[in-house]
Amino acid sequence: MQFCSCGKSLTCASHFPRLPLAGGAPPHPTPSDCANVISGRFPQHLKTVRARALRSFLPSATLEVGCGRCVPGAPAGAPCVLHAVWIARSSLRTLVMRRSPFGVDICCRKGSRSPLQELYNPTQLELSNTAVLHQMRRDQVIDTCRANSIVSRKRRVLTPNDLKHLVVDEDHELIYCYVPKVACTNWKRLMMVLTGRGKYSDPMEIPANEAHVSANLKTLNQYSIPEINHRLKSYMKFLFVREPFERLVSAYRNKFTQKYNTSFHKRYGTKIIRRQRKNATQEALRKGDDVKFEEFVAYLIDPHTQREEPFNEHWQTVYSLCHPCHIHYDLVGKYETLEEDSNYVLQLAGVGSYLKFPTYAKSTRTTDEMTTEFFQNISSEHQTQLYEVYKLDFLMFNYSVPSYLKLE
C-alpha cells in the first residue's frame, strides 16, 4: 500500500509498513531516523500521510485527525497537515522527551512526579501513546510560528494584561489558559476544585456564574516577574482549542441570540447595528438585541473595529489570548476530543483517580452543521476576509479550511 505518490520507500522498522520517501533512503533506518521525520528534517511531503497510515504505525494510540481530508476512505494521496509518526515503541521515551525544556529529569515535589515529568517522561504505556499525539500538536504550533516568522521577529515583551487568561494552580503545578467557548466554564470549575479556592469538591456543584468570578482563581499576571518566569518554566502549561468558525458561531449564538444577554446587546449589539445596518430602527439602535450573523461578520472584518479596541475575549483569536508563539504550551487539548484530553490533564496532575471532567448534554452545542448554515449567507469576499482574521488559529491547531467556505 502506498500513502504518498513518489514511489520511493523506506522501512522504519522491520514490522512497519513501507513508506515512500523522495530521493531514496537507507534501507534500514534506525529509530533516530524515525524521530528525524517528526522533527521535520526529512523531505516536507512526508508530512502528507493519511490517517489510516498513522493508525498502522501505532494501532493502540489515539491519533490526531485534524484535517477534514484525512479521514478513512479519502482519495489516494489526499493531503494532510499532520506530521507522520514513524517511531518504534522502543524509542518512544526518547521521542517524547525531545521537546522537554529541561536537560535532566524535571524537578518535582518530594515523593511525587510533577505533571511535566509525567508528560515528557511517561511511566505507563497508555500515557506514552497519548504523549505522542500531544508531541504532534506541540510541533504543529512550533512549525506554524516558524513558518509565519513569528518566533524570528524581535521578541515582544508580554505585559501583565497578556497573562490575565492564564490560571495558576500552585498545588499541582499547572497553568491553564482559558479560551471562551471552549469548555472554559467547566475547566474553571475544575481549577477551583484543584486550587481549593471555594467550598466545593464536585465541580458541577459550582454555579456557572461563580466559576467566572475573577477572585475565585489566581491568574499569572498577579505574580512578580521572577515568580512568573519560574512558573512558566516549571509548571505544565495547557490550553484547549476549537475549530475557529465553530467557536465564532457559538459565541454569536450565545451573546446575540439569547434575550438575557442584555449587557452584550447594549455594549456590542447597538454598535454593530449602528455601523452595519442601513435604515436601522430607533428600537434596534437602542436595544441592539437582533444582530444578524452577517452584520456580526462585517463588524469583525471592519478595520475600524480592531483599531478602536481589541476583540472581546469570546471572539478573540486563541493566538492573541494565549500567545502560543511566546509561551511554550506543553499540552494542547481540543474541543473535538474534550473529555479524553481533559481527563489526560487530570491524570498527569495526579488527580485522575478521583476527579473527572464533567460531562453534560450536547443538544445545545454548536455543531459543524450549524456553522455551515450560518455561513451560507456570507459573501465569498467576507468569508475570505474573515478567514484571514482567524488564519493563524486554523494553521496552528491543525484545522483545515472548512469545505463550505467560498474563498476568493
Query: 177 lies in a domain?
Result: yes
Residue 137 within any structural domain of the chain: no
Q: Is residue 160 part of a domain?
A: yes
Averaged pLDDT for residues 71-79: 38
Cβ 115 vs Cβ 174: under 8 Å: yes
User: Sign of the CA dihedral 215, 217, 221, 227?
Assistant: positive
Of 116-125, 215-224, 285-294, 380-389, where does mean pLDDT reach its minimum?
116-125
DSSP assignment of 152-181: TSPPPPPPGGGGTTEEEETTTTEEEE--TT
What's the CA gap between 228 and 175, in Å, rounded?
11
Question: How does pLDDT run across 22-67, given as a tens digit for each residue?
Answer: 333 333 333 333 333 333 333 333 333 333 333 333 333 333 334 3
Task: Give pLDDT, residue 149.
Answer: 78
Contact 213, 335 (CB under 8 A): no
Q: Where are the alpha helices (DSSP H) in 58-112?
A: 92-96
Q: Which residue has the higher pLDDT, 190 or 365?
A: 190
Strand partners, 18: 11
Sheet of strand 331-334, all strands in order from the earlier edge strand to the far edge: 166-169, 174-177, 236-241, 331-334
Claim to verify: residue 73 and residue 192 sit in the same structural domain: no
Whether residues 174 and 93 fall in one domain: no
pLDDT at 153 over 60: no
Is position 147 within any domain? Answer: no
Number of structural domains in the chain: 2
Identify the domain boundary among 78, 111, 144.
111
User: What band does 373 get if pLDDT is binned at 50, 70 and 90?
Assistant: very high
Question: Which range, of 20-24, 214-218, 254-258, averages the lowest pLDDT?
Answer: 20-24
pLDDT at position 13 is: 30
Q: Which domain holds residue 75?
A: 10-111
**Per-residue pLDDT, 207:** 92
**Residues 178 and 247: beta-carbon distance below 8 Å:** no
Q: What are phi and psi of 92, to 5 degrees?
A: -60, -45
Bridge partner residues of 334 (DSSP)? 241
Residue 189 inside a domain? The answer is yes
Q: In terms of domains, do 259 and 393 share one?
A: yes
Q: How many CB atoms lie within 10 A of CB 117?
A: 20
Find cell 521578541 and name the residue.
Answer: 155
Nearest to 83 by CA among 98, 99, 63, 97: 63
Residue type, 73: G
Q: 273 in a domain, yes or no? A: yes
Residue 5 lies in a domain: no
Q: Could you tell me which residue, 94 or 387, shows the higher pLDDT? A: 387
385 in the same domain as 266: yes
The last residue of one of the domains, among 52, 82, 111, is 111
Same domain, yes or no, for 262 and 335?
A: yes
Q: Are residues 107 and 166 in the same domain?
A: no
**Is 200 found in the same domain as 95?**
no
CB atoms within 10 A of CB 353: 8
In a shared domain, residues 172 and 261: yes
My answer on whether 251 and 103 are in the same domain is: no
For the stretch 324-367, pLDDT in tens is 999 999 999 999 999 999 999 999 999 999 999 988 766 678 88
Residue at 116 is within a domain: no
202 and 100 co-located in one domain: no
Q: How many CA atoms lie within 13 A of 296 on its CB side?
A: 28
3-state SS assignment for residue 297: helix
> What does the pLDDT read at residue 75?
40
Helices (H), 218-269: 225-234, 244-256, 262-264
DSSP 3-state of 19: strand
Residue 89 has pLDDT above 60, yes or no: no
Residues, the chain: 408
Cell of 142: 512550533
Same-domain check for residues 403 and 327: yes
Distances (CA, A) of 178 to 262, 282, 332: 24, 37, 12
Task: Identify the CA nearest to 4 among candidates 58, 63, 44, 60.
Answer: 44
Of 57, 77, 111, the domain-final residue? 111
Chain position carrying cell 511517561:
122
Residues 226 and 356 in one domain: yes
